[in-house]
Amino acid sequence: MSVRYFDLYENVAEGFWCLGHPLDSSRQKLDDPWQFTVGKPAHFTGQIQLPLSLEGETRDFSHAAFATPVVHARLADLFKALAPNDVELIPVEVDSHPGPYFILNAIRTISCVDVEASEEAHYWKEDDGFPEKVGTLSSLYGMRIDSSKVGDAKVFRPSEWDVALIVSEDIKEAMERAGITGAKFESVTGPSAFDPVMRAETKKRGELSDQARAARESVWKGLGTLDDDFVISMVLGGDWPAGSQAWRVIRRPSGNTLVVTDGLSAPFADILDRPTAGFGFELAMETPEPLPDLEKSWLVQLLERVGNELAGHEKLRGALERGTLSMEVAGAHLPETLLTPEGRVAVLLGMATESLPARFAVPGGDVRLVTVKALLPSELEWLLQQGRGGAAELARRFTEAGDGYISRSWRQPVV
């Protein structure tokens, strides 16, 4: 009887703690935080500390930043007993939690992925911009491994897809008997449940998505330095055309930070017989202000809310097609200087500018690049009093003042 294996990963849920970037004893970020997830012994030998990104209920198994597995001592003892030659357990100090806790580092990699039996696989291509990765897996869903290649390993990472942490069935069962919290398991052995028709549809969907993404990326690279270290975390679900949301960060020659939505013009997930351009627009928001914690910054939060409002309301998208549009979104956690008395934040969409292209092409058609300008409460009040033509006049005043479509969390009003 062949041994069964499982992909072990964190059970993400609300109310639990979230561990941050591994730090050294001086609380400086480790230069190579990926060293604990590549299937090799770690090379950092000093004391490691883990800050909390979010307070919450503790768990026996968690992921810190960079998918670093972190385990409580009772789970560490289980791995030490069942797989002593497959892992190293590196002590870590978790802020305000005595533990003890350890980084669980699998130190074996095995070439064992069965791509044909897996549900869906994609590979890096030359036009992705990472020549060292060409021909290797860029994504893998419904993974299956060839257990005959595993040998005596009980904990390992597949060399073709080392983001996965694989454990044997006896370790899974031991964790379940011990009542270990925070862990989920997905079988990577046994018959695959994929549907050939669904696989063909998924492949076509991926091809259309890749073509559109490459076209967008070509445009983004033409606007400045595309910051690959700041691809804002993708969000699955919602009303965006492909069922996922993403944002890209561009460092402008002026020193400004430009953040763009990357998917409002993605092909519709349910149309496979031809390329489409989604809603036919992407949003762009630019600021000269420093944004030290970019992903949690006011600009990214505001842009996300505007994008979600447009994605969820056809009438708003129709109004946007007719020209400049003002709208309001929830103001929670945004700068007080931008908040209306009702606790909302207003924006002006569609201001013309010569520094960004008004439109660009993707395989499914033309895409409008819509600028987003944060408004001050007094400007919104003035705008609502003007009626038709007020948005155009406000845009003219912004241009005359010299700031144009650029957003700031504070400035002098133009009305």
Last residue of a domain, one of 187, 217, 236: 187
For 194-238, the pLDDT digits (tens) are 677 877 888 898 889 989 999 999 999 999 999 875 555 555 557
pLDDT of residue 257: 96
For 351-382, the pLDDT digits (tens) are 999 999 999 999 999 999 999 999 999 999 99
Which range is least confidently modeled, 101-115, 124-138, 213-227? 124-138
How far is Cα 356 from Cα 285, in angstroms, rounded to an integer? 11
Query: Are residues 93 and 148 located together in one domain of the fold?
Result: yes
Last residue of a domain, one of 142, 157, 187: 187
For 316-328, the pLDDT digits (tens) are 999 999 888 999 9
Q: Which residues contact 9 (CB under 8 A, 6 or more apart)?
A: 63, 164, 165, 183, 184, 186
pLDDT of residue 53: 85
Query: Are residues 22 and 56 located together in one domain of the fold?
Result: yes
Query: Are residues 151 and 230 located together in one domain of the fold?
Result: no
For 120-132, what is the HEC assignment? Answer: EEEECCHHHCCHH
In a domain, 408, yes or no: no
Which stretch, 3-17, 63-77, 127-141, has highest mean pLDDT? 63-77
The token pair that represents 173 in the structure block: 């069962």
What pTM does this model have?
A: 0.61
Query: Are residues 178 and 217 located together in one domain of the fold?
Result: no
In a domain, 201, yes or no: no
Percent of the residues in the chain that have a pLDDT greater than 90, as a whole number = 73
Q: pLDDT-based confidence at 388, cuts 50/70/90? A: confident
Q: pLDDT-based confidence at 189, cuts 50/70/90? A: very high
Q: pLDDT-based confidence at 186, cuts 50/70/90? A: very high
pLDDT of residue 15: 85
Domain enclosing residue 124, as ranges: 5-187
How far is Cα 282 from Cα 284, in angstroms, rounded to an integer? 7
**Residue 1 CB neighbours (<10 A):** 3
Query: Are residues 67 and 133 located together in one domain of the fold?
Result: yes
Last residue of a domain, one of 187, 222, 237: 187
Query: Are residues 141 and 218 located together in one domain of the fold?
Result: no
In a domain, 195, yes or no: no
Query: Are residues 295 and 356 located together in one domain of the fold?
Result: yes
What is the SS3 assignment for 74? helix
In a domain, 202, yes or no: no
**How many domains is the chain built from?**
2
In a domain, 68, yes or no: yes
In a domain, 150, yes or no: yes
**For residue 180, what are the CA distances in angstroms to 19, 29, 190?**
18, 29, 25
Query: Are residues 213 and 88 located together in one domain of the fold?
Result: no
Query: Are residues 134 and 259 located together in one domain of the fold?
Result: no
Query: Are residues 310 and 362 located together in one domain of the fold?
Result: yes
CA neighbours within 13 Å on the CB side: how many for 74?
11
